[in-house]
Amino acid sequence: MELTDLISPETVFADLKATSKKHALQELARRAATVTNCPERAILDVLLERERLGTTGIGRGIAIPHGKLEGIDRVYGLFAKLDSGIDFDSMDDMPVDLIFLLLAPESAGADHLKALARVSRTLRDTGRCEKLRGSNDADALFAVLTDESAQSAA
């Protein structure tokens, strides 16, 4: 599974404004509703339920909120760079400024896990994250995320 299977230039956002974890998830749910044609509230409920199980803030300023959603037929991804870091209850207590949202169909077992693994591998690359943080344009963010030559070097 490649990141281009999950995201497109239209699902990458360079300046998400959020003041809290819940606010960020609300903004992402609103944007995901447009892409998935699912109700914003249903998306937000799935994300909040997953956060109740444990934070998706994985550390180093990165969060990967995810969940399974009724009514979609494939895994969807949205990436957002926040204009400033927010408290996400991350494992390392660092503020989060890079968020990669994943939504999978209810029936997606392996695909959901493959997508999570792929995103995690991509965002584990410190150099790539530095480039993401240095980019203020959605197209540039998309290019950094989907640069396979950088991925194979990691």
pLDDT at 140 over 90: yes
- pLDDT, residue 151, reads 46
What stretches of 30-142 adopt beta strand conformation (E)? 57-59, 62-63, 66-69, 76-86, 96-105
- pLDDT, residue 15, reads 85
Say how many CA atoms lie within 13 Å of 64 toward its Cβ: 18
Task: Confirm whether 152 is domain-assigned.
Answer: no
**What is the rounded CA–CA span in Å between residue 32 and residue 20?**
18
Task: Confirm whether 68 is domain-assigned.
Answer: yes
What's 134's domain CATH number? Answer: 3.40.930.10
pLDDT at 150 over 60: no
Q: What is the pLDDT of residues 63-105, one digit of tens each?
A: 999 999 998 999 999 999 998 999 999 999 999 999 999 999 9
Catalytic residues: 66
Task: Confirm whether 101 is domain-assigned.
Answer: yes
Token output for 65 = 């909120």
Task: Confirm whether 154 is domain-assigned.
Answer: no
Tell me the C-alpha to C-alpha distance, in Å, between residue 97 and each of 2, 5, 14, 63, 70. 23, 23, 11, 8, 28
Q: How confident is the model at residue 122 (pLDDT cuts 50, 70, 90)?
A: very high
Our count of domains for the chain comes to 1
Residues 88 and 28: beta-carbon distance below 8 Å? no
Task: Confirm whether 151 is domain-assigned.
Answer: no
Task: Confirm whether 153 is domain-assigned.
Answer: no
Task: Confirm whether 25 is domain-assigned.
Answer: yes
Task: Confirm whether 87 is domain-assigned.
Answer: yes
